Structure 1
Amino acid sequence: MGTPLGDFIRTRRDTTQPESLGLPDHGRRRSPGLRRSDLAARAGISIEYLTRLEQGRDRNPSPAVVNALADGLGLAASEREHLRYLAKITGGACQSHTRPAPAPRTVRPSVLDTLRLLEPGIAVVTNRLGDLLAHTSGFETLTGGTGLLDTGSPNLTRYVFTDPRARDFFADWDAVADEVAFDLWLGPSVENTEWFATELAPLAGPEFTRRLNHHRVPPRGTLHLNHPAGPQLRLRRETLEVSSDAQQLTVFLPADEDTARALARLADRSRGHLRAIS
């Protein structure tokens, strides 16, 4: 049985062209990308050990091996961080594993107070599973009419993959889908991620499972939205980690003057009947 760590190493090896690392192209290969022998040589490990890692038969590589593999694959900084994280959770899962469970949805009062200070701006508290835990009135204005907040326990990941309205709302739906699927690997705990992915996979289908298993680190550029009221919006995102709670506070800012004016018009229409922070 494979592991997330082994899957990531194998996927990156298959998608890395030898010439991109300055290696000679030896002609036809049985599989695309780097040979195991090429990566093993670059990382300074045996082919047998690399095979065991990829197949999930060895789950506890040392930090030195993890760093050597990152060097051998020519990983970017964000990809290196993901490799280290997968090594951590793969080894932890081997040592002890508790039952899958949903993540807690409680937000500390001090975080809620911080959110109130951001009114009437656009801000939301989430976890990496996509649970929307608290938000400003500005966030409700931004998402009004999209269906994102229609349920009692709204979740961005579930919305992206199961609600047809998400493909209209997110002009760059594929990029957003890559983001929310990747973020599950950074969930509050391995057990929380396992619980959520198991629940969502039958509903979301291959669009979800394919992205989850690719381990593609998303670039997280400007967010492009098609608001149901008409305006097209371009938003920058600033995310602050609430590390002790495995939550994030994200603030959305207009990326251009047209978006700023459109948001002002949306706020004017909604003023007087907004709800408090959920």
Structure 2
Amino acid sequence: MTPLGEYLRARRAQVTPADAGLPGGPRRRVPGLRREEVALLAGMSADYYVRLEQGRERNPSVQVLDALADVLRLGDEARTHLLHLAGVAPRPRRPGTRERVDPQLRMLMDAWDEQPAIVLGRAYDVLAANALGDALFGTGSNLLVTVFCDPAARTFHHDWERAAHTVTAGFRQLHGEAPDDPRIREVLDDVLARSPEFARLWARHDVRGKTVESKILVHPQVGELELRLQSFDVRSAPGQQLVVYHAEPGSPTAQSLALLGALVATGARD
């Protein structure tokens, strides 16, 4: 089975008959939609869809993929991932060498003394951080490895299950864009071997990049932090993301970040 076939099978398992406006019935033997139901809803023959899922049909049109994306209820990022897997949308090139952060970007981040900021590499490595970002995440770490392989992550992330789903779906997007990248493959193989929970989530084929979202982190020194994050593509280094966290002005979290900043400044956070 091809990566495209695996993705189609995984995603149809996530769509219930009720989602698709079909009767359920007590005798269904498969989770989600049957192949024949996907084909019917997408306006194609069942045989053609089976060949797609089995990897015997390798050149679907954009129209076919768009129809499947509608049936499988894919969002914009998941739809793009589907196109990547089918070889329709060009994959952005990823560097195979060590990633470096633009010095001007580092200077900009260092000027933000109230907002934690980090730069993520093409495989979710934390390549750089300002003082508050380092106090939260530390440079030289990897978000995927940390969430699934560091026991402290279970308490650091207030909603660990949500964090695990989010980081897995984000890594799936990175992998879909550059499945042969050596660093992406290295991180993927490492976490698959060490975490059955990650293997289970990885098999779902969820796709979601970092956007604007809220999360609660629990820092060992300053306690609970309710943060908003925004992610930006780094134009000077394709594949890198700048992630900036901020708190509501005057909120308890803003006060806690100020305290953390003071601890960093005095060297008292260790």
TM more than 0.5: yes
TM-score normalised over the length of structure 2: 0.84
Question: Structure 2 vs 1, CA of residues 12 and 60 (structure 1 numbering), >3 Å: closer, same or farther?
Answer: same
1:242 to 234, 238, 242: 234
Which of residues 176, 180, 188 in structure 2 aligns to 1:191? 180
Aligned partner of 1:97 in structure 2 is none
Q: Which residue of 2 aligns with 1:57?
A: 56
Three-state SS of the structure 2 residue aligned to 1:223 is strand
CA deviation string 1:78-135 (max 9, x = no partner): 432332333339998xxxxxxxx96632112333233234345310000242100011
Call closer, same or farther: CA 1:252–1:91 in 2, change over 3 Å: closer
Aligned match of 2:133: 139
Are the structure 2 counterparts of residues 223 and 202 from structure 1 closer, same or farther at C-alpha, using a change threshold of 3 Å?
same
Alpha-carbon RMSD = 2.8
Q: Map 1:190-269 onto structure 2 (within 5 A).
A: 190-192=179-181, 193-203=184-194, 205-217=195-207, 221-243=213-235, 244-255=237-248, 257-269=251-263
Identity of aligned residues (%): 35
Q: Residues 123, 112 of structure 1: CA spacing in aligned structure 2 closer, same or farther, 3 A cutoff?
A: same
Q: Which moved more, 1:61-70 or 1:193-202?
A: 193-202
Residues 175, 207 of structure 1: alpha-carbon distance in 2 compared, 3 angstrom cutoff:
same
What's the offset of the Cα at 1:4? 3.0
Q: How many residues align?
A: 258
Greater fraction helix:
1
Q: Distance in 1 between the 2:75 and 2:151 partners?
A: 34
Distance 1:231 1:91, change over 3 A: closer
**Aligned AA for 2:123?**
L
Name stretches of at least 5 consecutive residues in structure 2 with no aligned partner: none
Counterparts of 2:240 and 2:246, CA distance in 1: 20
Q: Does 2:146 correspond to 1:159?
A: yes
Corresponding residue number in structure 2 for 1:40: 39
Q: What SS class does the counterpart of residue 19 from structure 1 fall into?
A: coil
CA distance in 2, matches of 1:34, 1:157: 31
Q: Which runs of 5+ in 1 are unaligned?
A: 93-100
For residues 30-179 of structure 1, what are the structure 2 equivalents within 5 Å? Answer: 30-88=29-87, 104-143=98-137, 148-149=138-139, 153-179=140-166
1:13·1:34 contact (CA, 8 Å) conserved in 2?
yes
